[in-house]
């Protein structure tokens, strides 16, 4: 079976050297030297400051909400955050988990990112934040979103899980918003097996988050506030350092796969429209078919022939019952019903991609 993705596994010899060092130091967690090294190297690689490593991407969102005062422990408050229904469920469920009601606004039909035109009309007196998503690494309309947030006094937390290494207008896309969160899950372009990070605009928010991520403990005998355990460990950091060492090789291989799909499919299928002011990290290759029936038929045809594709993102979150009753968002529902992500990973062989394309084209013609 050709999977839709595979984790990138760096050279085992390099990982073994890092692990040998962990055994020698016997320092496994609590801001160990490898976590400190990875923090510094990621700030340099990404061109950002105030980066905090955490144990996964969902906790990155939750810590960001808490550090920026979006979520609350006051049960009488009913804060809301405006977000997109076209995203992985964690974007919205992390809000709900933190006692913040996700209020969905519809997406742009071409970029698939949260449409700024739909944000302002969703604002209520309870709105405390906007949580947009750089969908498949495609930059949101950050200037328009900033303007709305400044006008209404709202925080902006970008879910940038797909936007590792993406630059916009010559600087890191992660520099936009009050915070941007990253996922370092094993299937991501850059990973630490499990893990994540938050990039804060302000250092004082970083310092607040540091306290929260370690139980609120600030010293041997001091607990200053309510906290949680969101620390990255040394084994995660070791994997991250190895993957980062080989990032250019990883990107080059993905770009080759991505551009071939683009050449072969851009005339017959709807592709995501990307911002002209950004570069791209080739993390995903989504395509949209003429109908949901066609997308489901393609999925079944490819599966029968040993190729896995994914309906990503499906379903549109405005239809997910556990997130609460929501007004329908028709553009998101329409795109979600017709989208498939094709196999993209570093070790995808040329003949495997050829087979995938041939099966797809044949299925389209039937």
Catalytic residues: 188
How far is it, in rounded angstroms, from Cα 328 to Cα 318? 6
Dihedral sign, Cα of residue 284, residue 290, residue 294, residue 298: negative
Phi, psi dihedrals of residue 326, rounded to the nearest 5°: -135, 150
Give, rounded to a whole angstrom, the gap between the first and last alpha carbons of the chain.
23
Closest of 48, 99, 78, 55 to residue 231, by C-alpha: 55
Reported residue count of the chain is 366
Nearest to 249 by CA among 162, 170, 345: 345
The sheet carrying 196-200 orders its strands as 51-54, 196-200, 179-183, 155-159, 127-131, 80-83, 101-104
Quick check: 272 and 286 in contact, CB under 8 A?
yes
């Amino acid at each position: 079976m050709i999977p839709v993705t595979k984790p990138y596994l760096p050279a085992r010899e390099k990982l073994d050297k890092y692990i040998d060092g962990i055994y020698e130091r016997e320092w496994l967690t609590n801001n160990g030297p490898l976590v400190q090294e990875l923090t510094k190297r990621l700030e340099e690689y990404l061109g950002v400051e105030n980066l905090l490593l955490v144990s996964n991407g969902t906790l990155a969102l939750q810590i960001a909400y808490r550090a920026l005062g979006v979520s609350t422990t006051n049960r009488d408050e009913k804060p809301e955050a405006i977000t997109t229904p076209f995203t992985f469920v964690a974007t919205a469920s992390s809000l709900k988990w933190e006692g913040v009601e996700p209020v969905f606004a519809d997406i742009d039909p071409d970029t698939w990112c949260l449409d700024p035109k739909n944000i302002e009309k969703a604002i209520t007196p309870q709105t405390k934040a906007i949580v947009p998503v750089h969908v498949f690494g495609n930059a949101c309309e950050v200037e328009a979103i900033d303007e709305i947030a400044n006008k209404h006094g709202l925080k902006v937390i970008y879910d940038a899980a797909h936007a590792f290494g993406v630059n916009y207008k010559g600087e890191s896309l992660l520099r936009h918003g009050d915070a941007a969160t990253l996922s370092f899950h094993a299937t991501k372009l850059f990973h630490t097996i499990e893990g994540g990070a938050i990039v804060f605009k302000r250092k004082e928010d970083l310092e607040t988050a540091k306290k929260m991520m370690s139980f609120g403990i600030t010293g041997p005998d001091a607990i200053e506030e309510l906290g949680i355990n969101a620390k990255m460990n040394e084994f995660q950091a070791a994997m991250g350092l190895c993957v980062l060492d080989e990032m250019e090789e990883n990107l080059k291989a993905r770009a080759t796969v991505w551009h071939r799909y683009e050449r072969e499919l851009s005339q017959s299928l709807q592709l995501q429209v990307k911002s002209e002011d950004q570069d791209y990290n080739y993390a995903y290759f989504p395509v949209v078919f003429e109908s949901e029936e066609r997308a489901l038929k393609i999925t079944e045809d490819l599966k029968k022939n040993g190729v896995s594709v994914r309906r990503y993102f499906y379903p549109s979150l405005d239809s997910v019952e556990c997130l609460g009753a929501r007004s329908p968002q028709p553009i998101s529902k329409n795109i979600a019903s017709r989208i498939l992500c094709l196999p993209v990973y570093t070790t995808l062989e040329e003949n495997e991609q050829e087979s995938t394309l041939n099966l797809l084209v044949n299925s389209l013609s039937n």
